[in-house]
Structure 1
């Protein structure tokens, strides 16, 4: 009896243990950090705001100068727009017209909104202003205190967090010119097969698409995808192509040549019949059962994916993406929605990877619908890979990898 086929999760865990890609901090200009992972925590270098500022258009006053309830008329001693420059202290017994975002003058302990005065909000600064108040405003009314938004040395983001537009804006507001991101892993894709062509078809030829597809997937996962390389079905050519790929890469990904045929050149070159530097297995997974991994010259890790486009895509998201900085592909459990597209017979004991699309049901719960179509076609609009038959999945539920 043959050995049982490894479960996809077991294979995924094996690769995560055996392949640890080099990590390094790469400071990048803050504006270019969006989408990358942080290599270190980010803390605020200063308080924001750094000085008290007005949170309302109005008049900065000393509360001790106000008569409440009733009317208070005060001379206007200054106009304070939101612009750089020194702000004079507020003279006792006066008010200063102030705009939102302007620094509050020393001595003022409240800002009275312009709507509570007789001033024209759009007119020139008046010589005096009358304030109509029913009660004394609380201390620091409409004043944003120093550090109210962000305290000095406050944690803004943790190591491993993905940089989003919000962090970019916050970092720039705090004067941070760079962010400490993880260096993008350099990954080469090597596609194999004499039948693959780049242009016009001839009898027996197949347009090569795995290289472009996997390079796009690598970029989406935060890696630096090098130009895909192509090798035919001969050992000498493949050996030279792999050496070229390994020279510039942190990781090499191959597609094709790992089945059980005489022309499965990757397996015969690197497996038991060759250098024995790679291990191959047929997982309990359809499509994408043939898989492999190993080491190339210089110790560069290599992951071997099937040559079929859908098998390569499924294998990438299950086994390659988790290895990349910023490319973690967590598997979640989601309620199944429309399963009418699941008309094919499924092999018992295997995990079946299918294209799916996520949505919210009427009750607000997330559902995943199986998409109709054969092979790669449904992945044109899929946003999830649905793993039907994954161990521990209850009826009506499925494991899902989000694309």
Structure 2
């Protein structure tokens, strides 16, 4: 009798319900907060700009001193570069040469762009300037009012938002020295297998790559990846590695040892024939079908991933990223482009994960091409995992997880 295999989406939902990671608030200097997740909203402590400033190079004037239509000649009473310092009030009946970003003097209610004058934009400040205007400029022409860009108390970013370069720049411009971020989730990776070594220097040995790959994925998703640990295929070594990992981590990942063989040490130590603290399933997913999860010492959650590199990578993006949180973990529907790489026989009833590369289609809408190659090889240039046969997708479409 064939085994009923759980749907990958149901497994993902299960892990999201059962695993809650700590979200303590940590104040981080603004310039070090890139990539972090906000634990609280951020509001502006002040208006920006604080005072009226010029939005153009030109001349600050009083509109009542202008003739329009016609020509107006005014003496130039001051030069105002964009630099710190007090700005004198504009003398009535005069103009002040002003640069973009400089504070507009009290009394001025418009800035006339230099192109509308007879002044040399690059020459010394003239004694007099003549404007030729068809109409009188509206009030505050080319003047950025206080709070025009950001008002005091305005919401800059909400809790749960990812800190990007724009927020870093905005916060610095407003004098926000630190941002309230979630403490980075500390994650340990425990890699199992006697055959895994630093170098494949003997028959039967395999270079260990899952630890480095998963640590890189964790860092890309904003987690703190602790140095990977390695355990052989024995219970005592695995027990010691898991205990060490649980002592330092908010979440532990294991790779390997969850199949149906005699040396599947993770399953025999933690499954129903061992401590019973983890449960295991073979999902309707290829590759990456074998999966598991449970709890270690102190209730620390653990997610068990397959030992094959491509299975571990697929399992991480489908099941670990949603636990870590963030919009990047969401699946999106994308039209299929080049599918010539889909040459293998795909039995029905399972979701098939393939490496893909996104690009704009002829109509500007995004499409994804399947990449040729076997196992991990196509992921060297992939930027998406394409889930063929996922429930709810129409012909010519697929669910996609961005890498």
Aligned to 2:303: 303
- The CA RMSD over aligned residues, in Å, is 1.4
Does residue 206 (structure 1) correspond to residue 206 (structure 2)? The answer is yes
Which digits, 9 at most, give the CA deviation of each residue in 1:268-308, with x for residues without a partner? 11011111000011111111111100000011000000111
Does residue 16 (structure 1) correspond to residue 11 (structure 2)? The answer is no
In the alignment, the residues of structure 2 paired with residue 23 and residue 82 of structure 1 have an alpha-carbon distance, to the nearest angstrom, of: 43
- Secondary structure of 2:9's match? helix
Where in structure 1 are there 5+ consecutive unaligned residues?
A: none
Which digits, 9 at most, give the CA deviation of each residue in 1:308-334, with x for residues without a partner? 111111000000111114474111111
In the alignment, the residues of structure 1 paired with residue 154 and residue 215 of structure 2 have an alpha-carbon distance, to the nearest angstrom, of: 38
Deviation at 1:63, TM superposition (A): 1.3
Aligned to 1:80: 80
**Aligned 8 A contact 2:235 2:265 in 1:** yes
**Aligned 8 A contact 1:193 1:232 in 2:** yes
**Aligned 8 A contact 2:25 2:39 in 1:** yes
Deviation at 1:82, TM superposition (A): 0.8
Does residue 174 (structure 1) correspond to residue 171 (structure 2)? The answer is no
Does residue 93 (structure 1) correspond to residue 81 (structure 2)? The answer is no
- Secondary structure of 2:342's match? coil
Deviation at 1:115, TM superposition (A): 2.3
Deviation at 1:3, TM superposition (A): 4.8
Deviation at 1:241, TM superposition (A): 0.5
Judged with a 3 Å threshold, the aligned counterparts in structure 2 of structure 1 residues 360 and 114 are, in CA distance, closer, same or farther, namely: closer
Aligned to 1:365: 365
1:73-222 residue pairs with structure 2 within 5 A? 73-222=73-222
Deviates more, 1:360-369 or 1:182-191: 360-369
Which digits, 9 at most, give the CA deviation of each residue in 1:94-137, with x for residues without a partner? 22111111111111111122222232322222333222223211
- Secondary structure of 1:311's match? helix
1:31-46 residue pairs with structure 2 within 5 A? 31-46=31-46
Which digits, 9 at most, give the CA deviation of each residue in 1:186-209, with x for residues without a partner? 100000011111124211111111
**Aligned 8 A contact 1:221 1:327 in 2:** no
In the alignment, the residues of structure 2 paired with residue 326 and residue 36 of structure 1 have an alpha-carbon distance, to the nearest angstrom, of: 11
In the alignment, the residues of structure 1 paired with residue 115 and residue 386 of structure 2 have an alpha-carbon distance, to the nearest angstrom, of: 58
Aligned to 1:401: 401
**Aligned 8 A contact 2:7 2:284 in 1:** yes
In the alignment, the residues of structure 1 paired with residue 313 and residue 395 of structure 2 have an alpha-carbon distance, to the nearest angstrom, of: 26
Does residue 241 (structure 1) correspond to residue 241 (structure 2)? The answer is yes
In the alignment, the residues of structure 1 paired with residue 41 and residue 260 of structure 2 have an alpha-carbon distance, to the nearest angstrom, of: 48
TM-score, with length taken from structure 1 = 0.97
Aligned to 1:353: 353
- Secondary structure of 1:180's match? strand
Judged with a 3 Å threshold, the aligned counterparts in structure 2 of structure 1 residues 396 and 133 are, in CA distance, closer, same or farther, namely: closer
**Aligned 8 A contact 1:117 1:129 in 2:** yes
Deviates more, 1:338-347 or 1:294-303: 338-347
1:313-352 residue pairs with structure 2 within 5 A? 313-326=313-326, 328-352=328-352
In the alignment, the residues of structure 2 paired with residue 7 and residue 244 of structure 1 have an alpha-carbon distance, to the nearest angstrom, of: 33
In the alignment, the residues of structure 2 paired with residue 328 and residue 23 of structure 1 have an alpha-carbon distance, to the nearest angstrom, of: 18
In the alignment, the residues of structure 2 paired with residue 161 and residue 302 of structure 1 have an alpha-carbon distance, to the nearest angstrom, of: 26
Kindly report structure 1 stretches of 4+ aligned residues shifted beyond 4 Å. Answer: none
Deviation at 1:214, TM superposition (A): 0.6
- Secondary structure of 1:385's match? strand
Aligned to 2:285: 285
**Aligned 8 A contact 1:222 1:326 in 2:** no
In the alignment, the residues of structure 2 paired with residue 123 and residue 367 of structure 1 have an alpha-carbon distance, to the nearest angstrom, of: 54
TM-score, with length taken from structure 2 = 0.97
